[in-house]
Structure 1
Amino acid sequence: MGIWAQSGYDVRLDWGGEGVAALGRECAVLVVVDVLSFSTTTDLVVGRGGRVLPVRWRDERGVALARAAGAVVAGESEFTLRPSSVTEIPPGTLLALPSPNGATLCDAAAATGAHVLAGCLRNASAIAAKALELGGPVGLVAAGERWGVNIFGEGGEFGPLRPCVEDQMGAGAIAAALAGHGRSLSPEAALAARSVDVTALAGCVSGRELTGSGHEGDVTLAARLDVSDAAPMMREGVLA
């Protein structure tokens, strides 16, 4: 139904896998936003001339295929899902990046036939420019977190989706950039656009979780707005 796809607006926003399904019915572009940490890590890798192979969480077959393709698997070397681990990643590296939210949603988004981009605060304007180039409508998919596990999927079984401050802000920053180019925003996207305050990232639940586990540097990297020209786009399953 058009109502769930937010029909009539150039830029739309929804959450998680259900959001991919709803927006993917009409949107030519889907932007997956997982600020802490998949999209931020992807931005850093692509910004250094690398590529990211998203792998669904706990998908052993996907990991095996990534190894066969010559990818370095995050967690099996010095490179992990954490943004701070990839700031010096060598250009040309193909990094297989399993993630419970962002990577899994990228795979689902690609199955809709839409162009798939990975967006965050760091590359909000670059992603908006790429989306404009590709043509609309544009669906912003805020990944959210899951009750029962931490940001990196560690813990028990996945619970229900937990909407989170960082992904609303990331999607909002992209929405605001698109609005600056005259694109109409759905009420959901417009509300997110008004929510952007990067100073709040450190104090939100996810920011406090990372800081409490000694990863404050990852929060700092993720909280930088429009410092990157990278616009990671999926082609044949790889973000580059």
Structure 2
Amino acid sequence: MGIWEQSGHDVRLDWGGEGVTALGRECAVLIVVDVLSFSTTTDLVVGRGGRVLPVRWRDERGVAQARAAGAVIAGEGTFTLRPSSVTDIPPGTFLALPSPNGATLCATAAATGARVLAGCLRNASAVAARAHELGGPIGVIAAGERWGVNMSGEGDTFGPLRPCAEDQVGAGAIAAALARLGCTLSPEAALAARTADVAAIADCVSGRELTEAGHGGDVALAAQIDVSEAAPVLHEGVLR
């Protein structure tokens, strides 16, 4: 055991793929938190009885993966990565959701052998309760973004990690919910729990970017806390 695993605590917190690698060595459960927007959109789909196939790319590779699984690919038609596009998604829809952050981390987390959940503010308490049932240690992974990544989901360019306020807040809300269930938090998780200010979502860089692009409704949906009982768990590559 090493210091990077934050050993000795029920709940640990780290960032991005590097954090998955570090925490995945000991954690039985990993919660991927990508508030704007993969985890929030996943919550809305699963909350309506649907399933989500995490897809890393929106190019021909993602389309081929979706078609092979029999899923509808977001970005072709009505549904997209934006939460507002799926609020009325037909119950039972199987949606392939491209995301270079959240979807990629789900695959990386699954490769560690841990049980993988997708968490956000909307389902913070529900995801915490499900993770607690599955048993720990529990790793909370704030997704962050990658400098220079092509956010269209095409290409293979990844830069260094950029921590994001919205994912810090989402991870903190989940950590706080786990603490209420009696779990001990690592200092990293405890700090996030103490600073989980939902009001920061609207004015953080990502929130402002979306709002200025005319997508303020997506930010508002993502900033709702504990309005959902969905707790998406990855099973055979599908969140349900």
**Fold match by TM threshold 0.5:** yes
Deviation, 1:199, is 1.0
Q: Are the counterparts in 1 of residues 175 and 192 from structure 2 also a CA contact under 8 Å?
A: yes
Q: Are the counterparts in 1 of residues 13 and 140 from structure 2 also a CA contact under 8 Å?
A: yes
Residue 197 (structure 1) aligns with: 197
Amino acid at match of 2:204: C
Q: Are the counterparts in 2 of residues 148 and 156 from structure 1 also a CA contact under 8 Å?
A: no
Residue 144 (structure 1) aligns with: 144
Residue 220 (structure 1) aligns with: 220
Describe how 1:61-100 pairs up with structure 2 within 5 A: 61-100=61-100
Q: Are the counterparts in 1 of residues 51 and 239 from structure 2 also a CA contact under 8 Å?
A: yes
Unaligned runs of 5+ in 2: none
Distance change >3 Å, CA 197–CA 152, structure 1 → 2:
farther
The SS at the match of 1:228 is coil
Deviation, 1:10, is 0.2
Identity of paired residues, percent? 81
Deviation, 1:14, is 0.4
Of stretches 44-53 and 147-156 in structure 1, the one that deviates more from structure 2 is 147-156
Deviation per residue, 1:26-67 (Å, 9 max, x gap): 000000000000000000000011000001235743431321
User: Does 2:1 match 1:4?
Assistant: no
The SS at the match of 1:106 is helix
Deviation, 1:181, is 1.2
Deviation, 1:168, is 0.5
Residue 122 (structure 1) aligns with: 122
Deviation per residue, 1:162-192 (Å, 9 max, x gap): 0010001100000000001111100100000
Distance change >3 Å, CA 90–CA 133, structure 1 → 2:
same
Amino acid at match of 2:160: P
Residue 46 (structure 1) aligns with: 46
Deviation, 1:70, is 1.4
Distance in 2, Cα, partners of 1:109 & 1:122: 21
Distance in 2, Cα, partners of 1:56 & 1:42: 14
Distance in 1, Cα, partners of 2:11 & 2:188: 9
The SS at the match of 1:13 is strand
Residue 26 (structure 1) aligns with: 26
Distance in 2, Cα, partners of 1:155 & 1:73: 17
Distance in 1, Cα, partners of 2:152 & 2:196: 24
Q: Are the counterparts in 2 of residues 29 and 135 from structure 1 also a CA contact under 8 Å?
A: yes
Distance in 2, Cα, partners of 1:210 & 1:154: 20
Q: Are the counterparts in 1 of residues 57 and 154 from structure 2 also a CA contact under 8 Å?
A: no
Pairs aligned (count): 240
User: Does 2:172 match 1:172?
Assistant: yes
Residue 35 (structure 1) aligns with: 35
Unaligned runs of 5+ in 1: none
Of stretches 97-106 and 154-163 in structure 1, the one that deviates more from structure 2 is 154-163
Computed over aligned residues only, the root mean square deviation of the Cα atoms, in angstroms, reads 1.6
